[in-house]
Amino acid sequence: MTRITSSAANTILISRFLQTQRTLHDLQTQVGTEKRAQTYSGLALSSQRLVNIENTKSNLERFNSNNTQAQLRLDIQTTAVSSIKDAVRDFRELLFQFSNADATDSEAVEQIQDDAYRSLLNIQNLLNTEADGRYIFGGGKVNEEPVNFGITSVADFQSTFDGARVSIPTTRDAHLENFSISRNSSTLNPAWLTFEQADAGTDKSRINSSVAQFSNIEVGTTIRISDTVGGVNDGVFTVDSVDPNGMWIDVRTEQLTDETTPVFATFTYPNPDDPRTTSTTNTVVVFDRRTSTITASTAGELDDIPEGTKITISGTVDNDGTYTVDSNDGTDLVVKSKRLISDGGAGSTAHTVGAGNTLTFSNATGANGEDQLIASTAGTYSSLEDGQKIKINNTNTENDGKIFTVKSVSADGTTLTLASDENVDVSTATVTTGIVSLRTEMFSFNAAERNFYFDASVVGGDQVQFTDNGANADTITLTGATFTDADGDLLPAGMQVTFTGTGANNATYTIASISADGATATLVATDTVTTETAANAVADGAGSITFADNDPSADSITLGGGFFRDAEGNNLPAGTIFSLAGTGTANDGTSFTIASVSTDGRTATLIPTDTIDDTTPTVTAGTMNAVNTLGTISAESYYNGDNISLTHRASDTRNFEFNTNAIDPAFEKAIRGMMLILQGEFGSEGGLDQNQNRIGEALFLMDDALDRTNSTPPPFGEELGSNIEELEIELGFRAVLLNDIETSNDQIIAYLESSISEVENINELDTIARLLDSQRVLEASFQTFSRVRQLSLTSFL
C-alpha cells in the first residue's frame, strides 16, 4: 500500500536533510582547516586547556623575540669590547717597546704620543657604538653619544694639559668628576667667590667660597673656571688641595716668589746637544713674581739656557722647583706662569698720591699708543696684575671717579699702562693729591665719593655760565666740559654738584635734568642762582642714594652718580646680595638681594621679601658693597651617560643587567693611561721626556685594564678591579645564557605545539570517511526527497 506523505512528515524530512547539510559543511570546514573547530566553544571541555597552552607558547615566543634583540646587542657589545681590547693591547705593546728605547728622543716621544692620540680616538668611536639606534655604552641614556674626549689634535690637547701646571687626573674619582657650581648654594647669590693669587706666599692660588660647597671635590680634578668678571680668571686648572670644611680649594699654579735679595742659584736643564745628559749654570739672580722674570746680576750669565726647555732651580729661599723657559735674553729669563689674579674681597689702596710720590697722567705714551699712569716712586704699582681694575679719586682732575684696566706694569713698578680703549684727562698732567685704589670688589659705591669734577681755570676759555631764568628753573652751562660721570653718562636727576671759585654762586645744587648734549644742567625749582660767568669755577659732584618703598610692588634703590654694575660695566645679575652702611637710615647694616637692574644701571629692584625704609628718601652719604665676585667652577667628565643598568628578562625565572658602560674601570684605566702619555710637549717641564715615570704608570694601567693577573703595585692607590678579560667573560656568560634559554624555549614550544595539535587538529582519515558518509547520506536524502515531492493523488487516479 502506498502512503501519501503528510505535511508534518515532509517538514521532518526537510529538517533532517538540513541537519545533514550542516554536518557535511562542518566536516568540509574541518578537512579544509584541519581544525576540529573554529572557536573555543567548539572544543567544549578542552577549550580552557587549549587557551592555557597557547598563552604559555605565546609567552615563550615573546621571550625568544626579545632575546634575539638582546643577543644582537650582546654581539655588537662583545665585538666592540674585543676591538677595544685590541686597541689597548696594541698601544700597550708600543708603549712597552718605547720604554726600552730612548725616552729622550723627540721623534720617539712624538710617535708614542701620536699612537696614544689615535688609540684614544679609536676607543672613543667604539664606546659610541649603536645597536638598533641605541647607544650601548651609555647606561640608561641611549639617545646621545656617551663619550667625548674633546680631543681634536695632539697639540690642542697639550695646550690644555701641559703636564706641569695642568695635568691629567691620576685617580679614577678625580678623572670622572662632573659638576658645575655658579652661586652660593644657600643664598643663591651669584657673587660667591674670591680669588687669591698666592695662598700665604705659596706657589698655589686659592679660590674661596662664601659657603661650604667644595668638600666633595677630589684632589687632582681638572676644573674649569669661567664667567669671571672680565674673564680675568677664566681658564683650566688642576686642584691641588681642598679645605676639609669645603670653604676653599687651592689650584696648582706656577709662579715665582719675590726674592729681591740676590741669591746664588743653580739651574739644571737638558743638554741642548744631548738631551740624555744635563747641563748646569750657577749664577747670582733675583726673582720677580709679577713679571715671572729671573734676572742675573751679571749680564749674559743665563745665555746658555735655551727657550722652551725645562729648568730645575735649587739653592734659593722660595723658588726651588721646576719651570719652563718662556723667553731668555741671557740676563732676563722669563718662565711660563699660570696663576689666578686676586679678585673679590675688599679693595686696597695702590697709590696714595703726595708730594713725595706724585701721579702723572700721560696720553699715548705706551708701546702701542696706550695712555699711562706714572708714579714718581719705584715699586708703587708692583703689586698690581695685568687685568686688574683700578679707580682714581680725589686728584681734582676729570679722572676722578673713573675705573681703568691695568694692561701692564713696568719692571720698576712706576708706570701703569692702561687698556688701549681707555683714556685719561691730561688737563692737569701731574697731581700731588689723590688716591689710586685697587678695585677687587664686584660692586662698590660710595655716595660721598667724587664722581664728577670740572675746573674751568685749568684750560683757557673754559667757563661756567649761571643763568637766573626768573619764573622758570635756573640753569648752569659748562664750556669745555659736560655734566657726565666717570663712565661718560649724563649725570642723573637728583645728583648734587658743589661749585666753588665763583663770584656769587658758591653752593651745592641739585640737578633736575641734563640737556642731550650734556652741557646744561637744569636745577630743581628750589635751587636758584645769580646770573654770572665764572672762569675760575670748580664743580665737584658726589653721589646719592634714593630709597623707594613701592608697596605693594617691590621696593627699589636708585643711585645718583653711580651704577649697579661690576667693574666691567655689566649690570649686576639677579640674586646679587649687597650690604648697605653709613647712610644714617634704618637701612644700615642690612643686606639686600637684587631682583633686577634697570637698563641704565641706576635702579635696583629688590626681591619681594626685602623691604626698604624711605623715611629719609635720599641721602648723600653711605656705602654699598658686594665684596665677592662672579664665577663658575666646573669639572666635566668624558662620559655623558648615566649609571643606570638596564635589566633584560630572559625568561620567567632568569634575567641579567646590561651594566657595561663607558666608565667601567676596564675602559677608564686604559683611557687614563693613554692620556697620561699624551699630555705635555716634548722638552717642556711637563713633557714625557721629563716625566718618564709616566711610562711605568701607564703600563700598569694598561695591564690592569686588560687582565686579572696584574701583580704590580698600583702607582696611584688601589684601583677598581674590573678589566676587559672579565668583561668578555661576563658578556660570554650572558650570550650562553640567552642561547640556553632559547634552546630550552624552542623545545618547550615544540611540545606545546604538539599538545595544541592534539586538542584542536582533526584525524584526517576519520574526518574524510565521515565526510564521504555524510555526502552519501545527503545524496540519498536528495533522491528520497525528490521522489516524495513527486507523489500526489492524481498519480493514483
- Encode pLDDT of 386-413 as tens digits: 888 888 988 988 888 888 999 989 988 9
**Residue that the C-alpha cell 729681591 belongs to:** 260
E strands, 501-635, in order: 508-514, 520-523, 532-534, 538-541, 544-548, 556-560, 577-581, 590-597, 603-606, 618-619, 623-626, 632-635
Cell matching residue 517: 648734549
* pLDDT value at residue 41: 54
**In 3D, which of 558, 467, 443, 592 has the Cα closest to residue 519?**
467
Q: CA separation (Å) from 391 to 161, 347, 376, 400, 440?
A: 36, 10, 18, 8, 10
For helices 47-99 and 724-760, angle between their N-to-C axes, nearest 10 degrees: 160
**In 3D, which of 700, 681, 671 has the Cα closest to residue 109?**
681
What is the signed CA dihedral for 280, 281, 287, 290, rounded to 10 degrees? -70
Assess contact for 347 and 439: CB atoms under 8 A: yes
* pLDDT value at residue 36: 60
Q: How confident is the model at residue 68 (pLDDT cuts 50, 70, 90)?
A: confident
* pLDDT value at residue 297: 94
CA–CA dist 182, 632 (Å, integer) = 4
Query: What backbone torsions phi and psi does residue 244 show, to the nearest 5 degrees?
Result: -55, -25
Bridge partners of 658, per DSSP, are 646
Q: What is the DSSP string of 107-134?
A: HHHHHHHHHHHHHHHHHHHHHT-EETTE
Bridge partners of 206, per DSSP, are 196, 250
**Mean pLDDT in the chain?**
87
> Which of 60-69, 122-131, 273-282 holds the top average pLDDT?
122-131
* pLDDT value at residue 294: 95
* pLDDT value at residue 649: 80
CA–CA dist 30, 768 (Å, integer) = 9
CA–CA dist 269, 559 (Å, integer) = 59
* pLDDT value at residue 2: 47
Q: Provide the CA 325 distance to its chain's centre, in angstroms.
A: 31
Q: Which amino acid is at 519?
A: A
**In 3D, which of 147, 132, 14, 161 has the Cα closest to residue 70?**
132
Cell matching residue 766: 576519520
643 pLDDT higher than 70: yes
Handedness of CA 392, 393, 394, 396 (dihedral sign): positive
CA–CA dist 787, 720 (Å, integer) = 98
761 pLDDT higher than 70: no
Determine how β-strand 259-271 pairs with β-strand 274-288.
antiparallel
**Residue that the C-alpha cell 635720599 belongs to:** 618
Rg (CA), the chain: 45
Cell matching residue 78: 662583545
CA–CA dist 122, 88 (Å, integer) = 10
* pLDDT value at residue 780: 67
Assess contact for 636 and 690: CB atoms under 8 A: no
Assess contact for 87 and 667: CB atoms under 8 A: no
789 pLDDT higher than 70: no
Q: How confident is the model at residue 258 (pLDDT cuts 50, 70, 90)?
A: confident
CA–CA dist 485, 400 (Å, integer) = 9
126 pLDDT higher than 90: yes
Q: Give alpha helix (H) positions in 34-131.
A: 47-99, 106-127
**In 3D, which of 630, 636, 635, 637 has the Cα closest to residue 182?**
630
CA–CA dist 17, 15 (Å, integer) = 5
Bridge partners of 513, per DSSP, are 522
